[in-house]
Amino acid sequence: MTKTRIRTVLEMIKFEHSVFALPFALVGALLAARASGTLPSWHQLLWIVVAMVGARSAAMTMNRIADIEYDRRNPRTASRALPAGELSVGFARAFTILAAAVLVFAAWRLNPLALKLSPVALAVLFFYSYTKRFTSWSHFALGFCLGISPAAAWIAIRGSLDWRVLILCAAVTLWVGGFDVLYACQDVEFDKAAGLHSIPKKFGIARALLLARAMHIVMVALLAWLAWSFHLAWPAWAGIAVVAALLAYEHSLVKPNDLSKMNAAFFTVNGYISLLFLLFWGAAVCVMRR
């Protein structure tokens, strides 16, 4: 592929947004390894990252394929690669298959359980693309797609699952679902015209913002429960405080009558949340009491 084609593909899958889920998956891996008194090997971390990139690339491309007609009709999304004709649907389908194969291969390199569950993960990721057609709660489906990443990373390290990591899965689900509710506020009028469903369309923007705020408050509470359940040291609690402060700032940027700062709230703040969470919790895991 030419450099221009590569840039177009990376833009289509919003490759830079991998920063949202990957840090939480890495925390799941760190917790899994440290629970047995070790740290993840470089081999394990490498294939977890490869699996995450493959999974997300496949999911995002499938989403763009599924929504191509809606994207053409929505002024906010009409310039995306597929509706604009910069990439063909055939190319996108082939890229989806390739990305899915990367996930399966990475899972095979990790352990047998990860390999067995990789098709299930792909089914969950692909299913989300169609949920907006029949439910207002599709934001939770998207959240779950990213929320399973810590459990997947735990399985990649241990070949089994611990119930405690499900607390982190729930926290990530609410975090992503909450900021997706915020983002969907931009498309209320289009969703009404196109017959799509969302929480902002169902309840109105003001109530949707309140619901997103409640989801993020519960997320912070879940992180506190997780830190307590693993007996994590003070950096984890400092990280929770930082996450809570950034979430509060995020919500201060978005108002029912002013969505002009949505990109700052969605992209910038959430990127800082995930990276700082990894930094603080990574430090906490390294000094974790056994």
Q: What is the pLDDT of residues 30-79, one digit of tens each?
A: 999 988 788 899 999 999 999 999 999 999 999 999 999 999 999 988 88
Band of pLDDT at residue 150, cut at 50, 70 and 90: very high
- What pLDDT does 38 receive? 83
The half-sphere exposure of 259 on its side-chain side, counting CA atoms within 13 A, is 16
Least confident of 37-41, 100-104, 192-196, 215-219: 37-41
- What pLDDT does 290 receive? 47
State phi, psi for 255 to the nearest 5 degrees: -130, 155
The answer on pLDDT for 127 being more than 80 is yes
At 241, which amino acid appears?
Answer: A
Handedness of CA 10, 133, 174, 166 (dihedral sign): negative
Alpha-carbon distance of 258 to 256, in angstroms, equals 6
Nearest to 176 by CA among 203, 206, 149: 149
Query: Which residues span the domain enclosing 113?
Result: 3-286
- Of the chain, the percentage scoring pLDDT greater than 70 comes to 94
User: Is-contact 81 63, C-beta < 8 A?
Assistant: no
Which residues neighbour 211 within 8 Å (Cβ) at sequence distance 6 or greater?
A: 181, 199, 203
Instruction: Calculate mean pLDDT across residues 86-107.
Output: 94
- What pLDDT does 17 receive? 66
The answer on pLDDT for 145 being more than 80 is yes
- What pLDDT does 16 receive? 64
Count of domains in the chain? 1
Band of pLDDT at residue 9, cut at 50, 70 and 90: confident
Q: Which tens digits make up the pLDDT trace of 230-246?
A: 999 999 999 999 999 99
DSSP 233: -
- What pLDDT does 7 receive? 79
At 97, which amino acid appears?
Answer: I
Q: What CATH number is attached to the domain comprising 20?
A: 1.10.357.140
Instruction: Calculate mean pLDDT across residues 269-276.
Output: 91
User: Is-contact 67 138, C-beta < 8 A?
Assistant: no
**CB-based burial label for 239 (10 Å; 0-12, 13-18, 19+):** buried
